[in-house]
Structure 1
Amino acid sequence: MRMDRRQLLQLLALSGAGAATARGFSAPVRKRPPNIVVILSDDVGYGDVGCYGANDVKTPHIDELAKDGLRFTNAHCDAATCTPSRYALLTGSYAWRRDGIQVLPGDAKLLIHPDQPTIASILKKAGYRTGLVGKWHIGLGSGTIDWNTAIEPGPCEVGFDEAFFFAATADRVPTVYIHDHNVVGLDPTDPIKVSYRAKIGNEPTGKENPDLLKMKLSEGHDGTIVDGVSRIGFMTGGKSARWTDENMAATFTDKAVQFIETNRDQPFFLYFTPSDIHVPRMPNEQFANQNTCGIRCDVLNELDWSVGRIIDKLKSLHLEEDTIVIFSSDNGPVVNDGYDDGADHHTDSHPPAGPWRGGKYTITEGGTRIPFIVRWKGNVKPGVSDALISQLDLTASLSELAGTRVPQSAAGDSQNVLPALLGRSKIGRQSLVEEAQCLALIEGDWKLIDRAQRPGTTPQPKGRYIPDTILGDAPRETPPQSAIELYNLKADPHEMHNVADQHPEIVTRMKRKLADIRSRQPH
């Protein structure tokens, strides 16, 4: 049964006292809304962590979140690639509504207009201190970026009080950190220049100087070499500001922990977006070569360590019952994504998408069915939920949790599923749309893939390699693609048997609904 807003707020206000009383002592009524920590990992698949079935890699800290919280089995990101997925999570709007949202280069302009509400800006207006730590990849500036001066607009213009991040991905230039508006550690006598069109300067590249690489290439990624790894794109200058890949996890995690420590006495929203386990996979030496399932599992250990440090900081500050923690991933897994690191030799023992077919870049469930865990000690009863939810819903749901509302003109695709997130209801949303080269609609057990429905222009990035085969435990063949595909995910979770011809009435109804959703103007 769904609760109305008054009932829900009463429940939240009394939850701390109720949990304490159940343990035999009284506690004051909650005087402020809960802190919110969203941990968005990169390229982590449904089957990549222990609590979702991984056996060959240990992820004790993520598993602890699941043990103490609610683990969702039917949670989805918006898209099977990172930029549209992250845009949708922050704005509560399907990325495919905007033409041209694709995997961005490192010098792309900001996709979110400063006037467009985001989770961060809504929570900031509700009195939260808001912070971003980690990967951004939604663009910066309003045109050509000068990396040697203040870079804006960026995260601080769309709702974040503090931001420590890099512009795109670890395999793209520029390979530098940015604090709020400025490159960290930049020597003004060594200015940065970046190009995604042609080589600039005289620095070695992966294409011209493969002998200098400490990680071999498989496809693409043959631009400027930084820290022994060649990247997508070209850059010169900024040598004092360039990161060391093996220290990146510690750098970001230190900043995230510092944000929690600094803001412990006020409501805070931390959007922690570690680079792990995106390529190039360069784990710190304490995690390297530790797993029989290879380097992807090594960086999974590193990610789990980062999550553990967040949990430990909340524990040490006695904030566990005052903080809701959400762990998820921006899209499904990818194995060989431009670097020959041997990860593709281990998918038999460690299927990263778990039982689903495909992964990053694919419209099959492995592309958008992702791990999603909600933990709020004393307020969310531990368990497992099969409620259908989307990361889109965080905007409306977390706004409700904070005691505020989404502006009427914003986040039109986000639904308030807070009762499901808190385990008070088994029902989430009724349907959702997935994006990867085309659009798909999920409604109940049914999934319709309409390959004629294109989400603007979303070409696959150079350096991408993942066959549309099984990365889980199903047969390794791929069924032929059709213009219209219909699958019953309960009976056929691997999407192997297209039953569109057997159920024309369901196809007609779902095509009509998909067209209706696409035609809406939510803002």
Structure 2
Amino acid sequence: MLRLTLTLLLTVLLSLVNSKALAEKPNIIVIMADDLGYGDVSCYGATALKTPHIDRLAAEGLRFTSGYCSASTCTPTRYSFLTGTYAFRGERTGIAPPNAPAIIKPGTETVGSILKRAGYTTTVIGKWHLGLGSEAGPDWNGQLKPGPLEIGFDTCFLLPTTNDRVPQVYVKDHRVLNLDPADPLWVGSKKPSPNHPTGLTHRETLKMDWSHGHNSTIHNGISRIGFYTGGHAARFRDEDLADKWVEKSVEFIEQNKDRPFFLFFASHDIHVPRMPHERFQGKTRLGFRGDSIVQLDWCVGELIKTLDRLKLAENTLVVFCSDNGPVLDDGYQDGAIEKIGSHRAAGPYTGGKYSVYEGGTRTPFITRWKGRIEPGVSDQMVCTIDLAASLAALTDQKLSQESCLDSFNILGALLGDVGSKGRPDLVQQNNGNNGTYALRVGKWKLQRYDKKIARNVVVEQQLENSSVPQFQLFNLDDDPAEKTDVAAEHPAVTTRLKHRLAEIIRQGQSRPELKSVDQ
């Protein structure tokens, strides 16, 4: 009888322990690099530089070989990551201009709002580039709302646009930081005065020359897209961005170490203008692009060190990803092309930023949760768009029928659970909703171009231009570089994927739990 009683007591205790473990909510950090290619870090094959801290995440976690973002430019990927909905379904989801209003409207379900509802303290620190303010555009001298705080974030510390676009100021919560009312900030699309210095009129003063498009207002010796005046006390140095993101992130983690937190660390590295801090300049033979990768790796290392110091590593899920694939010359003469050597930024894949070739959307993707995720390599297909539904499942939050329309719950795959599968198919897009798509299903990849365009991609470092048909089919198992169109050889596969892509677009959603609008 005593033995039975002890057995029952032990069973109850174990049940309570297991229930507590299941109820625990890990801290969550999503580190999103900017323009980082599949082949840009050493754990994915780079040999021209070393990324020891990113490599450590991979060694202690799960490195995905089929990890994706959903678009090959920044604004649509960030929109899809936060909302769990393909950006081509939204409005104004192409690359946002400097004065763009808030693209994600208040009340929209986001990763931030899901986790806030689950009891998390939430923040985004770094590049935003999803617009701020009302339909009239940002009120740079007043309250910048709506913004992140209206879609689920408790706090934010932002680069409001992207750093090749004006203005070069920080936004803390709803206001430009350190703005002097006596020196108001003006941002516009037209030259404010005939003598306003620009990259065209004062090119000889630049410390980094432009190659195309980035030749308007000059700040810190670099000309940008767009015009601005004033706000001088609020302006930052490009070289200090990474340090500021780390400083604010460490501060946030320390303040919230005793309760669940969500940190979206939105790095600006390695986006142009690539101007790493002086202590990283010259660290690689790849020029400022390579040096910026090393700086990004340092940022990752500082976050890992903070988790270790505060003994949070075993209670924190870290996701490392990129917003799109690589680009070499993206508007500035920074040596990226001249110094590339044998480095392959997209690894074995064709294309990069702006394209729907694999190099545009297949990126480094790593998950680490010490003690929970078994270290290894996974070939399951996962995407940043799936973090919304997957983190909702992790924190036991229900999603409405109107939210996260294309986000799949692939939590098991992200955590490396045996037998768990990633998503069965994925739509890729280039920018906004201009009719350029790709669909991957298993080994097959269909490209669709609704507008007549020219193929303009980097293949083994050579720019290749030729016209392309509306549809192309590739077998990624045999042809990962997408060099040979096999649509004619596999008409049934081509037809099936064409119909599936059209269906996903037409139905307005693809999350499995949702009912089709056709039903």
TM-score, scaled relative to structure 1: 0.90
Out of 284, 288, 307, the residue aligned to residue 295 of structure 1 is 288
Alignment CA distance shift 1:148-1:61 (3 Å): same
Query: Partners of 2:44 and 2:98 in 1: how far apart?
Result: 33
* Residue in 1 that maps onto 2:27: 35
Cα separation, 1, equivalents of 2:39 and 2:29: 23
From 501, 505, 509, the counterpart of 1:518: 505
Q: Please give the per-residue CA displacement for 1:103-138, whole angstroms capped at 9, x wherever unaligned.
A: 011110111110110000111011000011000001
Please, which of 188, 202, 205 is the counterpart of residue 209 of structure 1? 202
8 Å CA contact 1:78–1:434 kept in 2: the answer is yes
Q: Please give the per-residue CA displacement for 1:186-214, whole angstroms capped at 9, x wherever unaligned.
A: 11100000002344585411111011110
CA contact (8 A) 2:456 2:466 kept: no
Q: Helix, strand or coil: the match of 1:74?
A: strand
2:479 to 481, 492, 505: 492
* Residue 406 of structure 1: how far off its partner (Å): 2.0
- Separation (CA, whole Å) in 2 of partners of 1:203 and 1:224: 8
**Correspondent of 1:123 among 115, 118, 126:** 115
Q: In percent, how many aligned pairs have the same letter?
A: 48
For residue 259 of structure 1, what is the aligned residue in structure 2?
Answer: 252
Cα distance in 1 for residues equivalent to 2:193 and 2:42: 44
Q: CA deviation at 1:145?
A: 2.0
The partner residue of 1:359 within 347, 352, 360 is 352
Find the aligned partners of 1:347 and 1:229 in 2 and give their Cα distance.
22
**Bigger Cα displacement from structure 2, 436-445 vs 359-368:** 436-445
Residue of structure 1 in register with 2:364 after alignment: 371
CA contact (8 A) 1:175 1:242 kept: yes
2:458 to 457, 460, 469: 469
Q: Of the candidates 72, 77, 100, which is equivalent to residue 85 of structure 1?
A: 77
Matched to 1:259, the amino acid is: F
* Correspondence for 2:324 among 300, 311, 331: 331
Q: Which residue of 2 aligns with 1:280?
A: 273
SS state at 2:37 partner: coil
**After superposition, what is the alpha-carbon deviation per residue over 1:221-246, rounded to whole angstroms, capped at 9, x for unaligned?**
11110111111000000001001011
Change (3 A) 1:274 1:201: farther
Q: Over residues 436-457 of structure 1, what are the superposed CA-to-partner deviations in whole Å (9 max), with x where a residue is unaligned?
A: 2501110000001111289xxx
Residues 92, 103 of structure 2: 8 Å contact kept: no
Counterpart mapping for 1:27-426 below 5 A: 29=21, 32-142=24-134, 143-200=136-193, 202-424=195-417, 425-426=419-420
**C-alpha separation between the residues in 1 aligned to 2:176 and 2:21?**
43
1:428 and 2:415 are equivalent in the alignment = no
Deviations 1:286-332 (A, max 9, x none): 10011112221100010000000000000000000100000000000
Q: Which runs of 5+ in 2 are unaligned?
A: 1-13, 515-519
Q: Secondary structure at the match of 2:426?
A: strand
- Letter of the 2:164 counterpart: D
Residue identity in the other structure for 2:365: F
Q: 1:129 to 1:121 in 2, by over 3 A?
A: same
Count of aligned positions: 491
Determine helix, strand or coil for the equivalent of 2:457: coil
Asked if the contact 2:457/2:464 (under 8 Å) is kept, the reply is: no
Which residue is equivalent to 1:4? none
Q: What CA distance in whole angstroms lies between the structure 1 residues aligned with 2:140 and 2:463?
A: 46
| Structure 2 match to 1:483 | 470
- Is the CA contact (8 Å cut-off) linking 2:36 and 2:324 kept in structure 1? yes
Contact preservation (8 Å) 2:240, 2:277: yes
Deviation, 1:32, is 2.6
Separation in 2, partners of 1:194, 1:479: 39
**CA apart distance, 1:407:** 2.4
Structure 1 runs not aligned, ≥5 long? 1-13, 19-26, 461-465
- Cα deviation 1:313-353 (Å, max 9, x = unaligned): 00000000100000000000010000001111233321110
Amino acid of the structure 2 residue aligned with 1:413: D
Compared CA separation, residues 292 and 197, structure 1 to 2 (3 A): same
TM-score between the two structures when normalised by the length of structure 2: 0.91
Matched, 1:444 2:445: no
Superposed CA offset, 1:447-476 (max 9, x none): 01111289xxxx99xxxxx9502257xx87
Give the Cα–Cα distance (whole angstroms) in 2 for the partners of residues 336 and 510 of structure 1: 34
Which amino acid in structure 1 is aligned with residue 188 of structure 2? Answer: S
Q: Which amino acid aligns with 1:439?
A: Y
Q: CA deviation at 1:478?
A: 6.2
CA separation in 2, counterparts of 1:249 and 1:201?
Answer: 35
Secondary structure of residue in 2 paired with 1:508: helix
The structure-2 alpha-carbon separation of the partners of 1:222 and 1:477, relative to structure 1 and needing over 3 Å to count, comes to: closer
Name the stretch that deviates more: 138-147 or 126-135.
Answer: 138-147
C-alpha separation in 2, matches of 1:407 and 1:372: 27
What root-mean-square deviation, in Å, do the aligned CA atoms of Structure 1 and Structure 2 show?
2.2
Any conservation in 2 of the 1:136–1:168 contact (CA below 8 Å)?
yes
Q: Give, as a single letter, the amino acid of the residue that structure 2 aligns with 1:57.
A: L
Aligned equivalents of 1:453, 1:413: Cα separation in 2: 24
Conserved 8 A contact 1:132-1:165: yes
8 A contact 2:457–2:463 mirrored in 1: no
CA contact (8 A) 1:293 1:349 kept: no
1:500 alignment partner AA: A
Whole-Å separation in 2 of the counterparts to 1:126 and 1:100: 30
Distance 2:407 2:192 in 1: 42
Q: Is the 8 A contact 1:478 1:496 kept in 2?
A: no
